Chain A
Amino acid sequence: MNKKKWLNKIRKILRDPRARIVGIAVMVLYYIVYLISIDHLFFQQGSFEVFVVESPLTRMFALRAPFVWEPVAAVTLWEVRIFIAPMNLLLGGILAILVGVNIMVAVFGYRFRKMCRIDTRYGLLGILPSFLTGFACCAPTFLIALAPALGSFAVYFISLQPFLIPASIVLLVGAFSWSVKQLPIG
């Protein structure tokens, strides 16, 4: 499919009001859930406060875990506290956009499913791995919760942690490309 056709299809998807509303809503929701999953957004009592660590420019590149960076600032707004880790805000934004556009394609393509027997929901496969990066101190958060069920297999998931974000991105980009290609529009 040539570039012009790609762009035309994407423009049509972006102009569809229902796809746009659902896509943006999902982007925002995903972004919030992503920040919660890496403990950079949580709820606690407070009013309004801003705190910045020493040497934020150096600290912002320090890794806590695979694809989780040290926050350099904290903003408290009433009962919501947000840790600002620029690298995670950027990564979260990229993931949210990818998830959102996949949802937009899925919503837009839904009307064609019976007519052309296409399924544009494959993009949703890429969402889950990105949520599994949340890290407790010594082991990923989800492993602590699943350890009673997983037993000794739990530890092998730690070796997979570095792959989860790249896998998410690959799946989301791949699924988006494939879904757009399938759409029977000019």
Chain B
Amino acid sequence: MKNAKIMMIIGIFVLVSIGAVYLLNNERDQEGFTDDSPASDEENSEEMTDDSLADQEIVFDGMTDERLSAYHDNIRRGGPPVDGIPPIENPEYQSLEAADPSMVNEDVVFIVEAEEGVFLYPQRILVWHEIVNETFGGEKMSITYCPLTGSAIGYKGKLQGIETNFGTSGKLINSNLVMYDRETDSYIPQILGIAVEGELKGQRLEEFPVLWSTWGRVKEHYDSANVLTERTGFLRDYNRDPYGSYVEGGGYYFNNALVFPVMYENDRFEKKEVMIAGRVKEQPFAIPKAVLAEKNSISFTVGEDSLIANHDEDLHTVRIFIDDGEETFVNSYDVMWFAWYAFFPETMVYE
């Protein structure tokens, strides 16, 4: 009996040792992680006005090679292998009427208004695939969604003249999906949209609008639309969201817990507060969606540009323009505060 117990303890020790060696060999460089961001100091915060954003609290000299390398060094394994979360390559669609029986009004959907029509992507399908590779107007485009950072972003599949589409690397940074481009294997974090490693390091993807709304709103708003079906080519339980529920308001999306460490943290807002975020001439900005919904329209300044953000009450979406007479469109998207700040601690914030 005693021998058996000793053998059991030795066996467990061996397993733990193997695990420890594995962990040490894959340990991320911890220098990139900090939670002492000066933005959390009260003396650095400034009172906001309605038509200006806060001054930058962390200064970066643009997207330097060093900064890109820091992002790359903080990439972690998420668990799945490459394309273990399989992108949808041949999406099939159905009409609003055909899709309605399998949806509820509170289901989150992502909207793409393309040349060919309006396309709707139910979050309950995209949560299992994260990327849909499509072609609109003859151009390769990818609708991307990261469940852990609550971000749905559209990217055109062209980098330095190379036409490409994207896969899931199985890795994460700041809890955000790290895509890889299939032509060069370059790693591109979804929120950053810039290759941080590989042949295309430093190249930024061109965005296109993907709007975050709900089924009840879109079916009232659009006369017709193409709704992604569950015929994705893969077998998943699309009636179950493994992270939580936007319909019932529970789970990961609504608690304060993070599964993965982040590069920078700031407690100005709740971690998962939804922000409308984007970049104007590389300057990141973020506006709490709830504030924008309350005010309906705001004017603000980012750098030298005056911007207007309009809230669409019907769809509960936001469109932003530069107030330059030509209404130059500025792409923006929903994203959780913690993730936006982790990538862009220098972000300007509207409150």
Contacts and interface: CB of A to CB of B under 8 A. Distances in A.
Interface stretch (A2-10, A90-98, A153-161): A153-161
Contacts of A152: 258, 261
Contacts of B86: 70
Nearest to A74: B235
A5 to B, nearest CB: 18
B198 interface: no
A184 interface: no
Nearest to A141: B242
Nearest to B237: A42
Interface string A142-162: 011001100110111011111
B329 interface: no
9 contacts: A39-B242, A54-B233, A65-B80, A139-B259, A147-B258, A148-B257, A156-B23, A161-B79, A170-B15
Interface residues of B, number: 48
B53 interface: no
Nearest to B261: A152
Interface residues of A, number: 49
A159 B11 contact: no
Contacts of B85: 64, 137-138
B117 interface: no
Contacts of B79: 65-66, 135, 138-140, 158, 161
Contact of B259 (A51, A63, A144, A171): A144
Chain B interface main SS type = loop
B78 A138 contact: yes
Contacts of B175: 138
Contact of B23 (A65, A144, A159): A159
B160 interface: no
Contacts of B237: 39, 42, 44, 81
A170 B78 CA distance: 26
B26 interface: yes
Contacts of A155: 76, 259-261
B18 interface: yes
Nearest to B235: A71
B197 interface: no
B252 interface: yes
Contacts of B235: 51, 53, 70-74, 83
Given A137-B80, A147-B252, A163 B240 contact: no
